[in-house]
Chain A
Amino acid sequence: MSMPFYVSPEQLMKDRADYARKGIARGRSVVVLQYDEGVLFATENPSRALHKVSEIYDRIAFAAVGKYNEFENLRVAGVRYADLRGYSYDRVDVTARGLANAYAQTLGTVFTTESKPLEVELVVVEVGAAPAGDQIYRLSYDGSVADEHGWVVMGGQAERLASVLGGQWREGMTLREALTLAVHVLGAPTDDGAKQRTLEATGLEVAVLDRTRPRRAFRRLTGPVLEGLLAKKGGARAHAAQPAGDDSTGDAAATP
């Protein structure tokens, strides 16, 4: 019989954190950034069904990187949490802060008490009536919460992409500017020697929390709407001329 080795708590936590970080770094990045009328989410995701960005409640959305089965489980829990809260109290009483707290406690408890930490990183966003009222919470695998302003990058190349995004983001961008920047950031070179990639609309998952929409602010941008927004200025005159019409086609295209 061999004696179990003593492992210091520092070492144990460090090993778990390294394990979780490695799992998260394998995935593609998600970019979240604020624009004048809401918050934009973008990621490279060829799948039409397995989403990384989803609606939680009227003004709240969720984005995640890492292991799909783990963050999907947290997403469903978040929808149940929000719907139960809204049913017990009122729709306006469901807040991103409460949800972020519930997630933080869950991630933290799993990190310290279970044999394997969750290999996920989450962002919970709530849009307010004005940009100053927007809330962006970033949650890590160990349950730590950061209250972010303006933008967040998570996933594989987070640090490198964050330096690109942080240098170019500014307050009050339009949706088109924000999307162009997000796609530029996602296609940024991953190594010093690599080149900037051009991403196609079909390989992107893009969604917005649009504060101008009446109740449910979440909307996916797909198909012609997304292509129109991504097109160079000259080719997209039709879109610019009909902002109202664009909205309704967006709904039709967004219906899964």
Chain B
Amino acid sequence: MSRTDANPSGRLPDAFTTPGTASFVDFLHSYAPDLLPRNRPLPAGSSAADLVAPHATTIVAVAYDGGIVMAGDRRATMGSMIASRSIEKVFPADEYSAVGIAGTAGLAIELVRLFQLELEHYEKIEGSLLSLDGKANRLATIIRGQLSMALQGLAVVPLFGGYDLDKHTGRIFSYDVTGGRYEEQDHHAVGSGSVFARGSLKKRWRPGLDEASAVKVAVEALMDAADDDSATGGPDTERSIYPVVAAVGSAGYRRVPDEELASAADGVLAARRAARGGDAQ
């Protein structure tokens, strides 16, 4: 806030009192562009391949009757090393939506902060919530601003989902690094373990799921991804680290508590043991 303090009269600068935009990103762009993550070019000649930054992995989203469930594992990797076993990659975007991120962890978390603030800022200034499509488009704009960094290897790929207050249904949106926005039907996964997670989702998802079964489907998909992808972590019962799972329905965002996830994970393991010949003692 040094710019504000530098104003000789101490008066709020003109940028603050200029009417027009309800977008925090646009305001930052005109007043403090250096705070936007997009305005940080890498030095010429360097590439992100030389750079070792933590990388966040698999996110899955599942639609159920009246909402969506989004789940992310807790692992971040740095090359072949595990950078963090308790990172969180699924966040509330606002009261009725959730955003999960895969890609360069530091940048992704910064983008999520910016996106959350963008939605809240609009809500406070306009006095009303953005539509779910409006929120999805704002996220696309933010991701598009990152294109040059993505081309240098610092890509961020989000997964966005929420409850549409007009259509009374849950919806899921995926993105590519150019800011392309695609609405997904039923379920989707992004990140390094997404190939395995998608396979699992295809077999386990069915129409008319309720919230509890959708949580189970999402947890099982993450466990399948963790099985085959070294960058995805499964539920860690020893340290009680479970995936971050969010359920968004007509009542708003809810983080599913660890006890429910533990029983979902135990249920999956028990079913697999039983299927293998009942050596569950």
| B117 lies within 8 A of A51 (CB) | no
Q: How many residues of B contact A (CB 8 A)?
A: 27
Which residues of chain B have C-beta atoms less than 8 A from A83's C-beta?
24, 117, 120-121, 124
Report yes or no: B17 in contact with A76, Cβ–Cβ below 8 A: yes
Partner of A79, one of B19, B125, B128: B125
- Tell yes or no: A140 within 8 A of B by CB: no
List residues of chain B with CB within 8 A of the CB of A169. Answer: none
Could you tell me the distance between the alpha carbons of A86 and B16 in the complex, rounded to whole angstroms? 15
Are B125 and A87 neighbours in the complex by a CB distance under 8 Å? no
B12 interface neighbour in A89, A105, A255, Cβ under 8 Å: A105
Q: A interface vs B, CB < 8 Å? A: 49, 51, 54-56, 73-74, 76-77, 79-81, 83-89, 101-103, 105-106, 109-110, 113, 248, 255-256
B1 and A105 contact, CB distance less than 8 A:
no
Closest Cβ of chain A to B15, distance in Å, is 8
- Distance from B270 Cβ to chain A, minimum over Cβ atoms (Å): 35
Residue of A nearest to B16 (CB): A77
| Secondary structure dominating the interface of A | helix
CB distance from A213 to the nearest CB of B (A): 12
Q: Are B11 and A73 in contact (CB under 8 A)?
A: no
Residues of B near A103 (CB, < 8 A) are 12
22 examples of A-B residue contacts, CB within 8 angstroms: A54-B124, A54-B127, A56-B124, A73-B19, A76-B17, A77-B12, A79-B121, A80-B15, A80-B27, A83-B24, A83-B117, A83-B120, A89-B1, A102-B10, A102-B12, A103-B12, A105-B10, A105-B12, A106-B12, A109-B9, A255-B129, A256-B128
A146 to B209, CA, bound (A): 57
Residue in chain A with minimal CB distance to B9: A109
- Asked if B202 CB lies within 8 Å of chain A CBs, one says no
B28 to chain A, nearest CB (A): 7
Is there a chain A Cβ closer than 8 Å to B273's Cβ?
Answer: no
A79 and B124 in contact, given A73-B19, A87-B117 (Cβ under 8 angstroms): yes
Is there contact, CB below 8 Å, between B120 and A84?
Answer: no
Report the number of A-B residue pairs with Cβ-Cβ less than 8 Å.
70
Q: Could you say which residues of chain B place their CB within 8 Å of the CB of A106? A: 11-12, 17
Q: Which residues of A contact B17 (CB under 8 A)?
A: 73-74, 76-77, 106
Task: Assess the B124–A55 pair: CB atoms within 8 A.
Answer: yes
**How far does the alpha carbon of A81 sit from the alpha carbon of B1 in the complex, in Å?**
9
* Contact call B12/A76, Cβ cutoff below 8 A: no
Contact A105 B9, beta carbon cutoff 8 Å? yes
Q: In the complex, are the beta carbons of A256 and B1 less than 8 A apart?
A: no
User: Nearest chain B CB to A201's CB is how many angstroms away?
Assistant: 19
The answer to whether B32 and A84 touch across the interface, beta carbons within 8 angstroms, is yes
Question: Does B204 lie at the interface of the complex (its beta carbon under 8 Å from any beta carbon of A)?
Answer: no
In this complex, which of B4, B9, B11, B35 has the most chain A Cβ atoms within 10 angstroms of its Cβ? Answer: B11
A residues less than 8 Å from B120 (CB atoms): 83
In the assembled complex, the Cα of A248 lies from the Cα of B31 at a distance in Å of 38
Q: Interface 1/0s, chain B 21-51, versus A by CB < 8 A?
A: 0001001100110010000000000000000
Instruction: For A77, list chain B residues within 8 Å (CB).
Output: 12, 16-17
Q: B117 to chain A: which residues have CB within 8 Å?
A: 83, 86-87
CA distance A211 to B159 in the complex (A): 33
Interchain CA distance A73-B19 in the complex, whole Å: 7
Please measure, in the bound complex, the distance between the C-alpha atom of A73 and the C-alpha atom of B12, giving whole angstroms.
11
Most buried by A among B16, B32, B114, B128: B16
Beyond A80-B16, A81-B16, A83-B24, whether A88 also contacts B124 by CB under 8 A is: no
